[in-house]
Amino acid sequence: MLIRSPAALATVACAALALLAGCGSSAGAMPGAQASAPAAASAEHPVVVELYQSQGCSSCPPADAYLNGIADRPEVLALSFAVTYWDRLGWKDTFGSPKFTERQQDYANAGRGQVATPEIIVNGSQVVLGANRPAFDATIANAGAARGGPDIALDGGAVRLGRAPATMGSTVWLVRYDPRLRSVPVRAGENGGRTLPHRNIVRELVKLGNWSGSAASYPLPKISQAGLATAVLVQNGPGGAIIAARKI
């Protein structure tokens, strides 16, 4: 995994945000994005919205607020991933994990380019860089449900996937996130002195296994802490499109 230094990343992020200010939109498709008409999102087949952010990033609070605002929509699976590369600039993110940093880097390796915060990735393929509210709203509205993959169902203590054409090696992810409002006083770094509200903070990201198109079942590990919600994602390769998702 290659991550630039926080100082270099800050420079890239600021340059990207300056570009956003000039062009007004940063939504774009990663290579491999599906071009078919989007299927309507629903509680059983949600659109997946991943926000990569850090409490040490002064540009992130507006994007946090955007995600907080859609956290309760049943047809949206909104997930906030706290990355760690800002930690050396004065404040260690209280929810940060190297796993989340690595996941964002996987997206970059799959064609997004340099990582930066805040970054919003929709269905694993559409990208909005920066706190760009019009692009954020438009990308989610136009994305539709994650599609092309299997039906996902809860079967006792396991997740069951149905049969479907598999376009490439796919990964089955378990995501556990905190749906409650978490307000964090930040005492140092770029947001020092502010209290930042978070919703749907990801606390666990676990690979359940691989999926190749046949019906399959994956046992669910025990939850590590009370109050977390659970979702399952099926994703094409590292950093690829999300082809199925469900809150369970």
pLDDT higher than threshold 90 for residue 8 = no
Packing angle, helices 60-70 and 133-143, rounded to 10: 40
pLDDT higher than threshold 60 for residue 28 = no
Instruction: Give pLDDT, residue 188.
Output: 96
Q: How confident is the model at residue 22 (pLDDT cuts 50, 70, 90)?
A: very low
pTM recorded for the entire structure = 0.85
- Convert the pLDDT of each residue in 113-168 to its tens digit: 689 999 999 999 999 999 999 999 999 999 999 999 999 999 989 999 999 986 66
Q: DSSP readout, 86-147?
A: TGGGT---TT--HHHHHHHHHHIIIII-S--SSEEEETTTEEEESS-HHHHHHHHHHH-S--
Domain ranges of the chain: 6-18+41-247
- Convert the pLDDT of each residue in 159-203 to its tens digit: 999 999 866 689 999 999 999 999 999 999 999 999 999 999 999
- Convert the pLDDT of each residue in 198-241 to its tens digit: 999 999 999 999 999 999 999 999 998 999 999 999 999 889 99
Task: Round to whole Å and give the CA distance between 89 and 70.
Answer: 30
